[in-house]
Amino acid sequence: VKEENNMTFSKIAFHELETTHDKVNHLFNILISGMENNNLDKLKQCEKIESEIDLMVKEIRISHLKRLQNGECMPLSGVVFADIILHLERTGDLLFGISRNLLNIEQY
């Protein structure tokens, strides 16, 4: 159990946050590498990684709802957890949008 600011996350929830963060960070690094090296293959990888993030988040939301229903997490912690996951997913969407725009520019 991870506790910060009187908020507790289960080991599973904390692992889900870390895993999602790591995947978004990986997407960021691939995007930066593709931009710095003008590597279109890396930019194209961003779509696959972003799809993986979307799938992860979908599974995490289901897992989170089950924990809430079973009383395994506190409601306030649950709201914060859901908010963090939402923002991580949105960050992935934005990073993919940048890669897509760069690929569209390269086509012209």
Q: Is residue 7 part of a domain?
A: no
Q: What is the CATH number of the domain that holds 100?
A: 1.20.58.220
39 backbone dihedrals φ, ψ, rounded to 5°: -100, 100
Report how far residue 32's alpha carbon sits from residue 30's, in angstroms, rounded to the nearest whole number: 6
Q: Is residue 9 part of a domain?
A: no
pLDDT digits (tens, 9 = 90+) for 5-51: 677 888 999 999 999 999 999 999 999 999 999 999 999 999 999 99
CA neighbours closer than 13 Å in the CB half-sphere of residue 101: 6
pLDDT digits (tens, 9 = 90+) for 59-105: 999 999 999 999 888 888 999 999 999 999 999 999 999 999 999 98
The range of the structural domain enclosing residue 33 comes to 18-106
Q: Is residue 8 part of a domain?
A: no
- Contacts of residue 103, defined as CB under 8 A and 6 or more positions apart, other chains included, come to 40, 43, 44
Q: Is residue 80 part of a domain?
A: yes
Domains held by the chain: number: 1
pLDDT value of position 3: 53
pLDDT value of position 50: 98
pLDDT value of position 29: 99
